[in-house]
């Protein structure tokens, strides 16, 4: 599954909405699979994709509008709105609020 999660990150970096939507529709479990920070090569900590979208907006790597499109794609393909809360992680809404994204 590591190859697919790296692909998800790359598709976010490329802002390839259509291919990401197709990948997630074919592999819906990826909508909740942790990824490292897009546009960051040294990050090793994986978090929920919705959290990482907030990180990319905060770093000004993607626009607010692009972030909304990405979030919609993930949510339409089964992303849990509470992110990793069940596993003791933060929620995407907490990430958005704390990063002012």
Domain ranges in the chain? 2-99
Residue 96 pLDDT class (50, 70, 90 cuts): low
Phi-psi region of 60 (alpha: psi -120 to 50; beta: other; left: phi over 0): left
pTM: 0.83
Contact 43, 59 (CB under 8 A): no
Instruction: Report d(CA 23, CA 30) in Å as an integer.
Output: 8
The strand pairing partners of 47, in sequence order, are 35
Query: What pLDDT digit, counting tens, does each position of 63-84 carry?
Result: 999 999 999 999 999 998 887 6
For residue 21, what are its two tokens?
Answer: 């939507």
Instruction: Name the CATH topology of 2-99.
Output: 1.25.40
Q: What is the pLDDT of residue 83?
A: 72
């Amino acid at each position: 599954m590591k190859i697919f999660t790296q692909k998800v990150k790359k598709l976010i970096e490329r802002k390839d909405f259509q291919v990401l939507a197709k990948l997630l529709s074919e592999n819906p479990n990826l909508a909740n699979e942790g990824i490292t920070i897009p546009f960051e090569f040294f990050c090793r900590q994986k978090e929920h994709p919705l959290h990482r979208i907030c990180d990319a907006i905060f770093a000004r790597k993607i626009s607010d509008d692009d972030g909304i499109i990405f979030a919609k794609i993930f949510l339409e393909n089964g992303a849990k709105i509470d992110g990793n809360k069940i596993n003791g992680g933060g929620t995407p809404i907490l990430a958005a609020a704390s990063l002012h994204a």
